[in-house]
Every structure is written in structure tokens, then in C-alpha cells.
Amino acid sequence: MFDRQVEGRELTFGVSGKLIMNNLVMYDRQTDSLWLQISGEGIDGRFKGVSLVKVPHVQTTWAAWKEMHPDTLVLDKRGGYDRDPYESYYNNPGAGPLGQSRSDDRLPPKDLVLGYIFGGRAKGYPFRTLLETPVINDTFAERELLVVYEERSQTGQIFRREVDGRTLTFDLMSLSDGDVIVRDRETGSTWSGLSGKALE
């Protein structure tokens, strides 16, 4: 997800119909510049070489989102497709319509990964790993992180685990009601792993 403000202008985007390495290419309606969907990088036109600013986001189900943010409104555009035109793509284990140009055996091509980027470094937590270990205390890029995953909604979250200058270590208490309840060892407080809020 990206901020649409670029050099003081608000851009609106559309789908160009092009792919690069199986990745959607967007265009902005103001300058017709082309942008890579995966990185937000301008690859052709007026904004070539410019990168859109990433906005923190979460991929989840609508039900889980409403649970976390009950006052959310959503744009409901009636009509559209009777079926998902990408269903066969999602269900095919291959990399995409253009195949793979680089081989990497660490994960299957379409495995979902919860990603963290800081200081030009990136780390991925595969969902298949998080299924087995839904709470991970980690250190990456000199930051103390808490990684949590809720299977039903396939929602993952990453938080810094420093509170009031103190690094906390978290343990799984329960997986219930669509949340991951954790307890920190240092204070004994319980927390919602999906919202990051202390419960008691």
C-alpha cells in the first residue's frame, strides 16, 4: 500500500494491463508514468526512478478487520463480476502466467510471507512457519520485534516489543475469538497480539 502524494501532487492510479516478472504494472492518470505494484517504483515516464512512500498495512479478512476496527466504512460498488476472474491464478501453484525467470527453492512461488522492512533491510516470515509458531520474539535490523499470526483470518502483525524503554518477551497464552493473546514475562501483562493493546 502506498501514499498517492508524489512531489506535492495527489496521483490516481489505474491498471496498465502490463506485467513485469508476473507483477502488475500501474499507471498514474496525471502523467501516464508506469509504476511497479510490488515496490511502488516508477519505471517509465515523468516519475521514472521515483518511489512511492509505503504505508503500513495488514492483509486480513473483512470479518477480522471489522473485529479490530468496528467503526470502519467500506466503499461498496454494486455490480462487477459474478465470479473472481483471478480464481484460477490463485489456485495454480505456479509463479504466474509468465513463469519464473529466477529459481528459488526456499519457498513455493505463491507462499504468503509477512514482511518487515527497515533501514533498507527486509525480512520475511512465511505463513507456513507462523502456522507452527504463531508468536515469535525476534531481533532484526537492531530492532526488537514481536511477530504474531492468527490462522483463521490469516492475519499477521509485527510490533516493536519495547515499551517505556524496556524490551518485553512475549509468550502465547491462547488463540481464541479471532485473536492471539500473549503475556509478557517482564510485567505479566496480557496483550492482544492483533491490535498490540494491553488487555490487563
Residues near 50 by beta carbon (within 8 Å), at least 6 away in sequence = 6, 7, 41, 42
Rounded CA gap, 63 and 131, in Å?
A: 20
Q: Show Cβ contacts of residue 30 under 8 Å, excluding neighbours closer than 6 positions.
A: 9, 11, 12
CB burial of residue 79 (10 Å; 0-12, 13-18, 19+): exposed
Which residue's C-alpha cell is 508506469? 34
| pLDDT tens digits for range 142-184 | 999 999 999 988 899 999 999 999 999 999 999 877 889 999 9
pLDDT in tens, 149-159: 999 888 999 99
| pTM (2 d.p.) | 0.79
Task: Read off the pLDDT of residues 85-136 as tens digits, 9 standing for 90 and up.
Answer: 777 777 777 776 666 667 778 888 888 899 998 888 999 999 999 999 999 9
Q: Where are the domains of the chain?
A: 5-44, 62-192
Q: How far apart are CA 7 and CA 11, in angstroms?
A: 10
Non-local (6+) Cβ contacts of 58 within 8 A are 65, 155, 156, 157
